Structure 1
Amino acid sequence: MFAVSQIPLAPRDADDTVRVLLVDDQLIVVEAVRRMLAGHPDIEFHFVTDPHAARAAALRHRPTVILQDLVMQGCDGFELIRSYKDDDTLRDIPVIVLSMREEAKLKAHAFAIGAHDYLVKLPDQLELLARIRHHSQGYISTLQRDAAWRSLRASREELARANEELRRLAALDGLTGIANRRRFDEALHVEWQRGRRQGSPLALLLCDVDHFKLYNDHLGHPAGDLCLKKTAAVLTGQLKRPADLAARYGGEEFVLLLPDTDLAGALRVGDACRAGLEQLALPHPGAPCGFVTMSMGVAAIVPGTGETIEDLVAWADAALYEAKRSGRNRVHAAA
């Protein structure tokens, strides 16, 4: 009667244990091989007497070497070896043919279809042990090398993700979650060069929360932090294009960078931001109007006409000063 069985000869070590799967329909051969391997703690022995169950047994036990007869009832041993090679999981497991026949043609054919070794049964115990260990160690080394490579690749990918996250966090303001001053400076230089190449306008809006020091004095810094977060949310809510950028410029100051935007378009965005914060109606005990507002200075230029980045920033800053001087809660364009 055909059977699939396992005779563990020692506790299994997933990394170093030699695992032998014997495929032979003669129980006398199974017992003889089992006796040869007994007493060797580095070897775990499995067997199957039904060749049609060999692949399933190999997938289940994951042997480091397969010992297999060529002539078994209802099965072509050569075809069985081919079936291992057609399976991605089994194809690299070394196969040692155990055959009653010592013929050069059989040996040549066995090697041609993927067998790693050929022994006439029953071989000498020392020779069998040496060949099992030799082929198993080669296979185990390959598995360990592949596992180490996968681990290294995973570590590199994880490191790359971590570095990308660090770069992302390094570009964000810790309080508001929008871009920080460093990220803004980088984007400004990139967009300046792009506008210069394409002859497209670039707009800059400097924003300042009105009477913010008084807000902190009356309500405390935690409330002030929340106010800045809500202001940042209002600004980002008005940005519709991927290249548009809102950043915290410093303290209660924010900046909007709008590529491909002329002065009229920038003024519309600025007024929408100002109105959006005004509509929140955040109570401000220290402000004349009683709620939080902001002032904005707007400048726009086509880069490459003789002016510099510093000029653009200075114009927006001067416009912001004028908005403050004129009464706050307004958007002022650079002259």
Structure 2
Amino acid sequence: MKLFSPSKLTRTYISALSLIALLTLATFFAMHQVISTQSDSALLVNISGSQRWLSQKAALLSVELVYSSNTSDRKQIREQLSETIAQLQSNHQTLIEDSTHIIPSHCLSPQMQEMYFSPPVNMHTRLNRYLSEALALAQDPEHLLTPNNSHLIYLLQESGNILESLDQIVSLHQKESEAKVHQLRLVEITSGLVILITLAFLGLYIFRPLANTLLMERFQLENANQELSFLSSVDGLTGIANRRHFDQFLNQLWLLATHNREPIALILCDIDFFKAYNDTYGHLQGDECLKEVAASLKGSLKRQGDFIARYGGEEFVVVLPNTTVEGAVIVAETLRVSVENLEIPHRLSSVTPKVTISLGIAVGHANLANSPTPLIEAADKALYQAKQNGRNCFRLAEA
């Protein structure tokens, strides 16, 4: 057996250690990139998802502006509509332009470039037109604020198409994020295998401590990734599912219900006069109110498959798999009563001097030809009717 000289053996170990150091640095860099990519991608998806809610809010405010008969209310609605338009524009610029302040090294992929700037979606032009029409409506004089207003008609006609395109963009952001993370994980796994092979040739008695350290840090990273994945699907304030998790859950349930031919019930819940509550009791107390209402709604759901999420602001959404109209009505009333029984004081409520909720119910059957969007819109319209009919009640969407 040929023996290595001490000097050659030293050079061999130094070379091997240098290789291990370089591979270890590469592995840690890949791990860091996985976390960074997931975080940045989650932020992109959240910003893109918020565009959907903001576009709905702009359409709703536009309708309220036209149909409001109170001059003071119209002034407030104009301000809210202008703020919503500004936020939509700001988010849009963040998504389509490189941003070093919010999302480091963010740039659009070719597929996303095509979504935003090429037919048939051409989201950049369509959204700018949508915002231009909404801004024009917000600035129209009082005598032009009629149901026949051309700006309002365009907004109502385009709202559904905008929402569908925004859903496609959110989905594409998610797919690109998963692809990036998959590539980085391949780099991570490859580097780890090379390290293990090199360690086997050098002897366990030298590199065992290093191997144990790497395995421990890898375990910690996986835990961190799992925690990050969990946090990205949970609303930080209320502890229930967030809007992103709701979208994923509903899409998955929609596909399952398509095969099983089972009905899906969706209930939108909105805390009555919550802005007045915040103005009266302060935002910290408002946060506590949201937490209590969320816990009460969640505790009122008895079946394991029932799902609740924070839809946005003071709105919550409940999804009831395989539930008929009769069952959905019973659950809705249970939710309403549970919040009312919390006895949270609300002296500015015109319904009753305590916190209450209004609910909109929609029940439908999933099919591959349609998305869940019409079901959500139906529940939203029913919620609006509940508010118009005195609040602290529920309304069922028309079949």
Following the alignment from structure 1 to structure 2, what is the Cα–Cα distance between the partners of residues 187 and 253? Answer: 17
Instruction: Rate the CA distance shift 1:150–1:218 in 2: closer, same or farther, 3 A.
Output: same
- Aligned partner of 2:294 in structure 1 is 232
- Aligned partner of 1:273 in structure 2 is 335
Q: In structure 2, what residue type is equivalent to 1:293?
A: T
1:320 aligns with 2:383: yes
Residue 178 of structure 1, CA deviation? 0.9
Residue 150 of structure 1, CA deviation? 2.7
Q: Secondary structure at the match of 2:341?
A: helix
Instruction: Rate the CA distance shift 1:223–1:303 in 2: closer, same or farther, 3 A.
Output: same
Contact 2:255 2:368 in 1 (8 A): no
Following the alignment from structure 2 to structure 1, what is the Cα–Cα distance between the partners of residues 342 and 232? Answer: 30
Matches within 5 A, 1:106-185: 141-185=203-247
- Equivalent residue in structure 2 for 1:309, among 359, 372, 390: 372
Structure 2: segments with no counterpart, 5+ residues: 1-199
1:282 aligns with 2:282: no
Residue 139 of structure 1, CA deviation? 12
Bigger fraction of residues in helix = 2
- Aligned partner of 2:358 in structure 1 is 295
Question: What per-residue deviation string (whole Å, max 9, x for no partner) do you get for residues 175-215 of structure 1?
Answer: 11111111111111111111111111111110000011111
Residue 307 of structure 1, CA deviation? 4.4
**Percent sequence identity over aligned pairs:** 43
Contact 2:309 2:317 in 1 (8 A): yes
1:255 aligns with 2:313: no
Q: TM-score, normalised by structure 1?
A: 0.56
Bigger fraction of residues in strand = 1
- Aligned partner of 1:93 in structure 2 is none
Residue 305 of structure 1, CA deviation? 7.6
- Aligned partner of 2:283 in structure 1 is 221
Question: What per-residue deviation string (whole Å, max 9, x for no partner) do you get for residues 95-148 of structure 1?
Answer: xxxxxxxxxxxxxxxxxxxxxxxxxxxxxxxxxxxxxxxxxxx99941333333
Q: In structure 2, what residue type is equivalent to 1:298?
A: I
Q: TM-score, normalised by structure 2?
A: 0.47
Instruction: Rate the CA distance shift 1:212–1:140 in 2: closer, same or farther, 3 A.
Output: same
Structure 1: segments with no counterpart, 5+ residues: 1-137
Following the alignment from structure 1 to structure 2, what is the Cα–Cα distance between the partners of residues 145 and 259? Answer: 54
Q: In structure 2, what residue type is equivalent to 1:208?
A: D
Structure possessing the higher relative contact order (Cα contacts under 8 Å, 6 or more residues apart): 2
RMSD: 1.9
Residue 308 of structure 1, CA deviation? 3.1
Q: Secondary structure at the match of 2:361?
A: strand
Following the alignment from structure 1 to structure 2, what is the Cα–Cα distance between the partners of residues 282 and 150? Answer: 54
Instruction: Rate the CA distance shift 1:320–1:139 in 2: closer, same or farther, 3 A.
Output: closer
- Equivalent residue in structure 2 for 1:195, among 257, 272, 279: 257
Bigger Rg, structure 1 or 2? 1
Following the alignment from structure 2 to structure 1, what is the Cα–Cα distance between the partners of residues 239 and 298? Answer: 11
Following the alignment from structure 1 to structure 2, what is the Cα–Cα distance between the partners of residues 316 and 216? Answer: 25
